[in-house]
Amino acid sequence: MKSKKLKYNNGQALLRQGSEGQAMITAVVFFMFLSLSIMLGLALPATRDFRSASDLMRSKQSFFLSESGLEDVTYRLKKNKQVDVSETLVLAGGSAVTTITDITSNKKEITALGDIINLNRKNKTILSVGEGASFNYGIQAGTGGFSMQNNSGIYGNVYANGSITGSTINSFVTGSAYAANSSELTANQLNDVPASPPNSIIFGNANATQDVAQSFQISSSGPLNKVALFIKKTGSPGNITVRIVNDSADAPGSTTYSSGNLSSSLVTNSFGWVEVALSPNYLITPGVSFWLVLDAPSGGSATKNFTWAANSAYVSGQAKIGRLGVSWSNTVPAGLDGYFKIYLGGTNSSISSVVVGQNGIGNAAAHTVTDSSVAGNLYCQTGSGNNKNCDTSQSDPAPQNFPISQAVIDGWKIDATTGGTINGNYNITQDTSLGPKKINGNLSMTSPNKTLTVTGTIYVTGNIDISANGSSIKCALSFGENSCVIVADGWIHIDNNGNFSGSGTAGSFLFLISDSSCDGSNSNPPCDTADHYAAIDLHNNGQGAVYYATKGLLNLHNNVNITAAAAYKIDLSQGAAVTYDQGLINQNFVSGPSAGWDIEGWREVE
């Protein structure tokens, strides 16, 4: 009996121990499931957030990829580069498909669809043909450079393809100043074949044949740098003055634009090339006849003279023999051409005696900078007398093109004729609205307090004289934010506080353009009647207008406050100041040849 009872008790114990183990396993499994549920509850939101963050990042990448495609095609159109109606840009594992649709002949719609792993963003822009110009500098000078007298300067930036010269008393540029070197030195005109010259011209041997000259025309504008001559001597003649002069009735004139000294010691008794540096570096005009004159000393003879190698091959000019300022004759035989080379470009520019920048901002950059104070960085290769040393880490500034091309100006002249032609001089004696109109003659405003409202482009074949006190010229209201233009072949003279303005809408200005080559050094007609022999001469206040004379001199007198200016050469007299208007950075016109594509709008559409 006892043994049976013991066996029963042992079974109960075993059953009790098995139940306790099962409960523990159940608890462990329960806690495992609970822990897993907690982990999943925490992981799923994190996973969703990670996926959302990834999608957001890819969406942004898709947006910027779409922007890149749009910018790429817009840039190509504005720069006249090759572009297809559909372009695909692949970048960063995604792509942007850009499509160009012609709305009209003068308007295009460009859409760009960015795709990063099936996440799409789409942008669109509208481009229209416009007549525009970008004025990035308050004052821009060509290779003639610009000079500033006491207490004169520029409120803004200045860029010159020549030197910037100040005075010892407060000549200033509140922004940055850049003086670019001229373009690379090139032989623009040459007459040098065959190597053994078939003919020659003897000069410097008598009064009637003391000098020799060769006419020429250059193919592109640039500053005169030097000439080279294929020449020899007999005996020991004196030195030669080499001159570039004007043409006067198919013979050398009396105006010397540039000159240099040819030392007789550099010339041998055998033909050889001799170079002569020229000064100043006059900006010579293409398509116009000039003369290269070899002005020999008096007292020559048959045993003391020079011989210039010659042929009859140069098609843009001819040689003549004679005496400068007296008379000229054809060569013997007639039609000879001297061996010569005309070099343009290659000149280094400088900044001197100018205060540049303010409050630590405003850089100066030129090959040479002297006696100047610069608030920002001073980039130059050589310098002295400045407030800091030259930073030579950057190359010299490169020449910049003027914002309005000659082709655009010529187009405005044509557009003006669509409104008819006035033959003879035209004087504004009462309030007048005018344009588009061509005036075959001069335009003048000599009656006080009269207003000329420009309703279209005005082209004057002669000169413009605005000298009456209180004269006003403004663009018509219809121009809106666009600017209006008056262009003259001759000089422009403005005096007695003229009042100039655009249409009244922000960004609209009056442009006064002279196509004259009066550069301050030419006193011959038609420049002989111009004040200071300048293409544009401005007295007193001229605010509200932009002055443009890329072939000549812009002369600014005391108390002048203008909007902006661009000219081959600019002189600021004492007290003159230029205030730069930011609205000029992108300037539009309603007349003239197309200057490219303008952006009307830019936005995301998907």
Query: Domains in the chain, ordered, with CATH?
Result: 2-132 (no CATH), 186-344 (2.60.120)
574-597 burial code (b ≥16 CB/10 A, e <16):
eebbbebbebbeebbbbbbeebeb
Query: How many residues make up the chain in this entry?
Result: 606
φ, ψ (nearest 5 deg) of residue 69: -65, -40
Contact yes or no for 458/436 (Cβ under 8 A)? yes
pLDDT of residue 43: 57
Angstrom distance (rounded) from CA 202 to CA 595: 53
pLDDT of residue 408: 81
Angstrom distance (rounded) from CA 131 to CA 75: 17
pLDDT of residue 50: 53
* Positions in the chain short of pLDDT 50: 1-9, 14-15, 582-583, 585-586, 590-595
Tokens encoding 5: 């009872």
φ, ψ (nearest 5 deg) of residue 338: -75, 155
pLDDT of residue 587: 53
Integer CA distances (angstroms), 530 to 442, 458, 468, 493, in order:
13, 21, 17, 8
List, for residues 342-356, the tens digit of each pLDDT value: 999 888 889 999 999
| DSSP assignment letter at 496 | S
Angstrom distance (rounded) from CA 133 to CA 156: 18
Radius of gyration of the chain (CA): 38
Kindly report the number of other CB atoms within 10 A of residue 396's CB atom. 17
Angstrom distance (rounded) from CA 447 to CA 34: 100
pLDDT of residue 40: 61
Integer CA distances (angstroms), 13 to 2, 6, 19, 599, in order:
17, 11, 10, 93
Contact yes or no for 267/232 (Cβ under 8 A)? yes
Angstrom distance (rounded) from CA 147 to CA 165: 5
Angstrom distance (rounded) from CA 454 to CA 449: 16
Angstrom distance (rounded) from CA 139 to CA 556: 12
